[in-house]
Amino acid sequence: MKTLITKIVLQFAIACAIATVITTTHVYADSKKFQIESLVQQYADAGQFAGSILVAKKGQVIFKKSYGLANMEWEVANTPVTKFRIGSLTKQFTSMLIMQLVQEDKIKLNAMITEYLPQYRKDTGDKVTVHHLLTHTSGIPSYTGLPSFFKDVSRTYFSVDDFTKDYCSGTLEFEPGSTFKYNNSGYFLLGNIIEKVTGDTYETALKKRIFDPLGMVNSGYDTSNTILKERASGYQKSLDGLNNAAFLDMSLPFAAGSLYSTVEDLYLWDRALYTEKLLNNKNKTIMFTPFLNGYAYGWGLEDIKIDKNDQADKVVSIGHSGGINGFHALITRLITDEYVIVQLNNTGGASLNAIRNGITKVLYGKPFDIPKKSMATTLYKSLKQDGVTSIVSTYNRLKENSFEEYQFTENQLNNFGYQLLQRNKLLAAVEVMKLNAIEYPESGNAYDSLGEVYLANGQKKLALASYEKSLELEPENANAKKVIEQLKSTPF
């Protein structure tokens, strides 16, 4: 009898312990969910996020919610199954396909690309390897960097081989392997290699090798002619509000940025990467090994600081962002604790990094910053009402009286300057870029941007001086070197 009672007491104690663990886990999840929801809602209320977010830890979804509209004309709300274009998140799927073919001995990472694309120009193709393409170190010019690409090319359909020949075969900008320069041409070429090696289209290879095995039924290659249930429309922010995003023929992003997905499907993708279902551990290690600039194969590694008072307090993340007309995406994997944060947005550039950083601080029990307003709208209103000369005075007034309310960063001013440049408001753009250089005198990028607007305004001497200052601050600025050479070779 005593033994039986002891067993009953022991079983009761174990049950209580299990219940305590379960309760504690739920309390933790609910606490984090509440904090994340409060944080993201503030970004949504400030007009800095519309879309879907999912946060999970070790197979348990902590937070999943959608904000704003998938279609503004019909007032259709975003949901967790809304399909968003994910832009350059596509690159991690392309790298997975390549590594699967490496595992099958059908591709060699150190092979020259002419081995798989024999029609490619030999003087370049015989120097560039598959590894170079994967790590953005090929030196091949990126087609999205061509001055006329978005204006003259982006709306036109091309076959894979024709686009490879016309826009992914430029003369090398640097010795392969020597420099990191983000490059969409490289991943377009990887897609072409996948098609040549498998005999399948890139779209079919993705479906057969990744999406079907993982049950990612809401992911695929996005084309505008397909009727796609629950597809989000893309919108672009402007100084006057939101507009429909410009059309882009999806044959052009291809293996560099053509996919759509949902937060739930990308969660399945994250979980699969902890297994060997798609790729063995040996090849996953290769895929996630960072090279120049912390970039691996379709993934970037970076430290996220979680305590502004302790620079050493940080967590390592593996992730990637994606931006394509009207959409912005970010996936962040915190491997040590198996967290994943998935953010999909359909209003163009959004504060995804800031939101991600805030969520990360919540997950690790650190205080987080609340979102601040963009100053661009206020400065633009001042410009329209009171002219160019009001920009600097309005900026200084906001900085003095409303510092905690607005974002005061180099990037804010730089983006505003480019928005004005795109609207051909050249004098205003010059004033903003001058202000940026004054506010951030150690920034090579600020002087590079100032040089660009001076050049657009026909002020070549001032442009040359700005580019030279940019190069002094950032000796590796290839753009500054190129423009300086051009300016010096022609009389003013």
pLDDT tens-digit map of 240-282: 889 999 999 999 999 999 999 999 999 999 999 999 999 999 9
**What number does CATH give the domain 376-489?**
1.25.40.10
Q: Taking the model in full, what pTM does it have?
A: 0.84
Q: How far apart are CA 468 and CA 475, in angstroms?
A: 10
> Reduced to 3 states, what is the DSSP secondary structure of residue 65?
strand
What is the predicted pLDDT for the residue at 12?
52
CATH topology of domain 85-363: Beta-lactamase (3.40.710)
pLDDT tens-digit map of 440-453: 999 999 999 999 99
Is 331 in contact with 320 (CB distance < 8 Å)?
yes
pLDDT tens-digit map of 275-318: 999 999 999 999 999 999 999 999 999 999 888 777 778 899 99
By CB atoms closer than 10 A (0-12, 13-18, 19+), residue 417 is buried
Which residues of 19-167 form beta strands (DSSP E)? Answer: 51-57, 60-67, 69-71, 76-77, 84-85
Is 246 in contact with 325 (CB distance < 8 Å)?
yes
- Domain positions in the chain are 85-363, 376-489
Kindly tell me if the per-residue pLDDT of 58 is higher than 50. yes
